[in-house]
Amino acid sequence: MLTDGSGLGASDRMSTRVEPGANVSAGQYAHLAGFFATRTDLVANVVDFVTPSLRDVDNAAVVVATPDHQAGIVAALTAAGIDPESDRCVFLDVDAVLASILHDGAADRDRFRATVDGALDEHLQAGRHVRVYAELAGRLWERGEVTPAMHVEELADELAQDRPFVLMCAYPTALFGDQDADAAALQKVCDAHTGLVHGDPFRSEVPPGRAHLGQVLQQEAVARAVDHQAVRRERAALRRELRDAANRARARQDFTATIVHDIRTPTTVISGLTEVLQERRAELDPARLADFLATIMRNTERIERLLDDILTVAQLESDRFRYDLAPVDLPALVGEVATEIRQTRGRTVEVSADPDLPPVLADADRQVQVLHNLLSNAAKFSPAGTPISVGIERRRDRLLVHISDQGRGIAAPELNRLFEPFARLESHESDKVSGTGLGLYVTKMLVEGQGGTIDIASTAGQGTTVSYSVPVAHTG
């Protein structure tokens, strides 16, 4: 029987000659060709196919069949203890569906998507894994409309590129009764699918020519299906590599453009004020002169910070960067950085720690850099007069540091961007705050480079908490 879960297995009645790896949750797609000699075989195999989905409340099934086949499937599902009237089980009349998707004797892409997607959409949006049994192509083939039948198979593959589902099509074995005349036709059907499913289509009462046809083509179809899957995987991997390469190229361009902008702004200020000093220094009163010099100094320091951060990023992203790991008293480091922030920023920093915390295995200088970045951010993005809280606790083999402010908070969509290079919040307030936009990116790399993790939790209007972990040093 088809096994419940991510793979398609085999049973005494049904044999999946190729395992298509139908893990719908991972976005994989299986397009099976089912060959059935009798109504009994068809019903039994369809029930085996849809049962795993209908027994799982998170899954669904769609059956597109003739009324006669639907009646048999409903009866068999009921006998198996499955409610065929569940809203997770959709039955569609194959002839009605064909009438809606055909236009001037050809399968119309837009009509196909509208009709089939309409049956799938509710379940896919609900996060359900969907198995679809459809007699569309087989029905067209029976009517002698081979080209539209193959086009329907292609349209199903197209739809599955962004609407993942597992599909089994049905073909009566009577369509392929003559060894010579129907070999190419059967091969065409096999080539259009990723796997073969059959009940007992090449049984003893089937004419010898058809039995031989099945035996001859079976191995070829399996080999072709395997090759088809390999090609699909290789193409998908190549698309991912190309997409990643394009993203990296865009990231480098954005990185360069941002660096140029962030350096040009302060250099423009420095250049302009220096020119004024050269030409009009004698005209400036002492207060104005002091203001000009202070502005030049601030912008010079801004350039230095940017260059320091860029150098740190380059070192972190190279294989040459090394951490000097040793047992470190983390609460003591937190206390030192908290004192510095109190003195330089005039902010209240409240520190609390669990008693008897063990030392951590870390690079002390890099830990100071992490703490300074996070506490400076908390000071910059929270109102003056509000305290910054730092808590340290032990969680199994790690110490966790929580740094909380009472700022405006960060919207959920922006949280995922904060650890990206040059990420800045979309707000007027953040525009007023100076910074390189590399601080959290560097911080994340430093934390992870020492074996820790970091994340951010925030509530709009209530503040933000950054938490990061450091491994405990195992001594003795």
Residue 390 confidence (pLDDT): 96
pLDDT-based confidence at residue 358 (cuts at 50, 70, 90): very high
Question: What is the spatial distance between Cα 241 and Cα 247, in angstroms, rounded to a whole number?
Answer: 10
Residue 251 confidence (pLDDT): 65
Percent of the chain with pLDDT over 90: 25
Q: Does residue 171 carry a pLDDT above 70?
A: yes
Show which of 206, 238, 263 is a domain's final residue. Answer: 206
Q: In this structure, are 176 and 256 located in the same domain?
A: no
Asked if residue 219 belongs to a domain, the reply is no
Domain count, the chain: 3
CATH code, domain carrying 307: 1.10.287.130
Is residue 455 within 8 A of residue 461, CB to CB? The reply is: no
Asked if residue 142 belongs to a domain, the reply is yes
Q: In this structure, are 343 and 453 located in the same domain?
A: yes
CATH code, domain carrying 402: 3.30.565.10
Number of other CB atoms surrounding residue 274 within 10 Å:
12
Residue 470 confidence (pLDDT): 96
Residue 57 confidence (pLDDT): 81
**Residue 373: domain span:** 326-471
Residue 8 confidence (pLDDT): 34
Average pLDDT rounded to a whole number, residues 323-335: 94
Q: Does residue 348 carry a pLDDT above 70?
A: yes
Give 197-217 pLDDT, tens digit per residue. Answer: 654 433 334 444 444 444 444
Residue 183 confidence (pLDDT): 60
pLDDT-based confidence at residue 44 (cuts at 50, 70, 90): confident
Q: In this structure, are 172 and 272 located in the same domain?
A: no
Residue 158 confidence (pLDDT): 84
Q: Does residue 31 carry a pLDDT above 60?
A: yes
Q: Which residue has the higher pLDDT, 342 or 213?
A: 342
pLDDT-based confidence at residue 436 (cuts at 50, 70, 90): low
Q: In this structure, are 197 and 80 located in the same domain?
A: yes
pLDDT-based confidence at residue 255 (cuts at 50, 70, 90): low
Is residue 32 within 8 A of residue 16, CB to CB? The reply is: yes
Number of other CB atoms surrounding residue 294 within 10 Å:
10
Q: In this structure, are 413 and 378 located in the same domain?
A: yes
Max mean pLDDT among 68-72, 101-105, 379-383, 435-439 falls in 68-72
Q: In this structure, are 182 and 285 located in the same domain?
A: no
Task: Identify the weakest region by mean pLDDT among 43-57, 176-190, 359-373.
Answer: 176-190
Q: In this structure, are 94 and 129 located in the same domain?
A: yes
Task: Identify the weakest region by mean pLDDT among 182-191, 209-218, 410-419.
Answer: 209-218
Q: In this structure, are 301 and 376 located in the same domain?
A: no
Residue 212 confidence (pLDDT): 43
On average, the pLDDT of the chain sits at 78
Asked if residue 149 belongs to a domain, the reply is yes
Please give the backbone phi and psi of residue 130, each rounded to the nearest 5 degrees, phi first. -120, 130
CATH code, domain carrying 67: 3.40.50.300
Question: What is the spatial distance between Cα 311 and Cα 305, in angstroms, rounded to a whole number?
Answer: 10
Is residue 310 within 8 A of residue 259, CB to CB? The reply is: yes
Q: What CA–CA distances, in Å, run from 245 to 27, 256, 309, 315, 365?
A: 22, 17, 25, 22, 34
Q: In this structure, are 382 and 350 located in the same domain?
A: yes
pLDDT-based confidence at residue 424 (cuts at 50, 70, 90): low
